[in-house]
């Protein structure tokens, strides 16, 4: 099992950049697998807490049912468009894939119904951005097996 804290220890600067992209906006998207194997995209919020990446699912939500059936998921930070003329300052986008492990119940507030909380086992973490001159697309990705890798595309 690879928790967020393990990734932070293995690649601290890369983890800092990825987390900044996830922390920059409240809403993200998550892809899960439906019973028939087709993808489902849902809105979601995530938190980094005590070295773990966590998210929740409301009671009877389809994404929660999907994750119980097949814990694989892909999570995407909120993308922002590059600013014309300042493309090199674009922070890029981050993606995380892995397995969602039930971590117990969660309650959003005193009037909210109890839902489920999931913790993330990381399989891959990706940061896609532009190089300093905004001439190349840079894809950096980390896996527990191979560590951090990078490729540039013109």
Question: pTM of the full predicted structure?
Answer: 0.92
CATH number at residue 72: 2.30.110.10
Distance CA 93, CA 22 (A): 9
Q: Range of 80's domain?
A: 4-153
pLDDT digits (tens, 9 = 90+) for 37-55: 999 999 999 999 999 999 9
Give the number of domains in the chain.
1
pLDDT digits (tens, 9 = 90+) for 86-144: 898 999 999 999 999 999 887 666 666 688 999 999 999 999 999 999 999 999 999 99
């Amino acid at each position: 099992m690879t928790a967020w804290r393990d990734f932070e220890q293995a690649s601290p600067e890369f983890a800092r950049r990825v987390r900044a992209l996830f922390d920059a906006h409240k809403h993200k998207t998550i892809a899960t697998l439906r019973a028939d194997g087709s993808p489902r995209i849902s809105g979601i919020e995530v938190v980094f807490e005590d070295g773990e990446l966590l998210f929740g699912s409301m009671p009877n939500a389809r994404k929660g049912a999907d994750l119980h059936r097949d814990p694989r998921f892909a999570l995407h930070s909120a993308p922002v468009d590059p600013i014309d003329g300042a493309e090199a300052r674009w922070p890029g986008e981050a993606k995380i894939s892995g397995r969602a492990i039930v971590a117990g119940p969660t309650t959003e507030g005193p009037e909210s119904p109890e839902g489920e909380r999931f913790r993330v086992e990381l399989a891959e973490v990706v940061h896609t951005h532009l190089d300093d001159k905004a001439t190349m697309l840079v894809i950096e990705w980390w896996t527990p097996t191979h560590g951090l890798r990078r490729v540039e595309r013109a």
